[in-house]
Structure 1
């Protein structure tokens, strides 16, 4: 009995919806099949979050500075994919910060990156970023954030962006947007 004969009953018993479409033709058996992924899979793969990830990961890899307009949606729908780090000192952070940001002061930054995961979590209260995790840094005006990026690159981190306007820019633009909404 040939392989084709073994699989013919299986392929003909598949629901009609799963037999439509085109799939890679590397294997002769697959080439004759008309299977395609369900529409729900296609919809989830082309969702806006996935699409955003593919479009913006290049900017993270190249280290292109992030703008207020790019950062605002990230803060409105925070997730574990992108980490927003405030490198200002604790006495500055208490005056206010960007929503969803975690504090990691520049004064302890380099030492913190060399800690193991457990010690990092105990000291800072959040998980240590992975080397490939997209990270946005900010401070008061962008200078210390760039220093943090340089230190992170030296430690092997890859997908880093600086919010050059930093907290000063955030406050100015956030207040301007609040007045526009009135």
Structure 2
């Protein structure tokens, strides 16, 4: 006859995982729904939004490229400004006048819409987290970044 633990433990484990998994997924969905309801704009920006921003030259959105200078020299999304990831935390902490003198554009306010991008979305994700930690509530991340933009606009 099999031991007590070989029969009972797996049965409890299976029952427990079935029992709690749906509740966990429901909680996750509820949290996602609540997050969307309180923040109507997603923190992730799509190519379509970037394309509209560029075509309309929307001055209400600050587009920031966080790549290194050598990468920026290969091409940029029109209307964007450049602040390398290594400088983003310091830049967003500077006084307004010093920021403008150093980077050549007005420092965004904490509630302004800011869209960050890099080459593939990894560094802009890091910059997004840094900006959020500094209190920038309107910050968003173009997760497709330069590679997505370039592939969708080639030949246009």
**Same-fold call, TM > 0.5?**
yes
Please give the alpha-carbon distance, in whole angstroms, between the structure 2 residues aligned to 1:127 and 1:88.
19
- Where has structure 1 moved over 4 Å in runs of 4 or more? none
Please give the alpha-carbon distance, in whole angstroms, between the structure 2 residues aligned to 1:66 and 1:106.
18
TM superposition shift of 1:90: 1.1
For structure 2, the residue ranges without an aligned partner over 5 or more in a row are 1-38
What's the Cα RMSD here? Answer: 1.3
TM superposition shift of 1:167: 0.2
Secondary structure of 1:58 counterpart: coil
> 2:45 matched to 1:66?
yes
Higher normalized contact order (CA 8 Å, seq sep 6+, divided by chain length): 2
Number of aligned residues:
118
TM superposition shift of 1:89: 1.1
Match for residue 33 of structure 2?
none
Deviation string 1:16-72 (CA, Å, 9 cap, x unpaired) is xxxxxxxxxxxxxxxxxxxxxxxxxxxxxxxxxxxxxxxxx721xx52x11111210
Match for residue 152 of structure 2?
173
TM-score by length of 1: 0.62
Please give the alpha-carbon distance, in whole angstroms, between the structure 2 residues aligned to 1:91 and 1:150.
24
Please give the alpha-carbon distance, in whole angstroms, between the structure 2 residues aligned to 1:111 and 1:160.
16
Match for residue 94 of structure 1?
73
Match for residue 131 of structure 2?
152
TM superposition shift of 1:151: 0.4
TM-score by length of 2: 0.72
